[in-house]
Amino acid sequence: MRLSRLLPLLGLLWLSPLFAAPLAQPEWNRVEVGSMKTSIYVGSVTLQTSAFKSEDDQFTATYSAKVFPWIFWNETGRITIKITHEDFLKLKRGERCEFTGEAMNHKNKPRHVTGYADPAGDATGKIKVRIGVDDTELIFNGTYNLSTVSYQASSAQ
């Protein structure tokens, strides 16, 4: 009698991963963005980032902005982009994913970040990033690549 009561429960436990799949976290936990460049009045700005690593519903990286020819405007810092699980589902469906974020430069000056990603494949696409610097908005266009790195491997890097 007890076994007959346990069988349906065991069946539900066996099938539970199928029901939990939509709630699972995104399989990507790392985003690599290629170097991007934009023009400014009599010059240019090149933006390079480290790989963005997942931390809950956001991705964090370090950045370096090099301003040519005015190198005294160069800066480094940390940038955080908020991307929800629903945003990742949009990317998987081939839809545009908009994001917001913040950056803090090496002098603790905040930078507002907005943008969007347009998928070109399962884990690649184009990205547009807008960064507010004082009263100027810098607009960068580039590419991204999503990947998965195990937490043990990423701590060794």
Residue 22 vs residue 105, higher pLDDT = 105
Q: Is residue 96 part of a domain?
A: yes
Q: Is residue 12 part of a domain?
A: no
| DSSP state for residue 107 in the 8-state scheme | T
pLDDT band of residue 55 (cuts 50, 70, 90) is confident
Q: Is residue 97 part of a domain?
A: yes
Rounded to an integer, what distance in angstroms lies between the CA atom of residue 9 and that of residue 14? 9
Q: Which pLDDT tens digit goes with each residue over 72-110?
A: 999 999 999 998 888 878 888 899 999 999 999 999 999
Instruction: Name which of 4-8, 62-66, 99-103 the model is least confident about.
Output: 4-8
The per-residue pLDDT for 16 is: 42
Distances 64 to 36, 37, 58, 79, 101 between C-alpha atoms, Å: 11, 12, 19, 10, 16
CATH classification at residue 134: 2.40.160
Total domains present in the chain:
1
Q: Give the chain's end-to-end CA distance (angstroms, integer).
A: 55
Q: Is residue 129 part of a domain?
A: yes
Residue 35: which domain range? Answer: 24-156
Q: Are 138 and 45 in contact (CB under 8 A)?
A: yes
Tell me the two tokens of residue 91: 């990317």
Q: For 107-128, what is the mean pLDDT?
A: 94
Q: Is residue 62 part of a domain?
A: yes
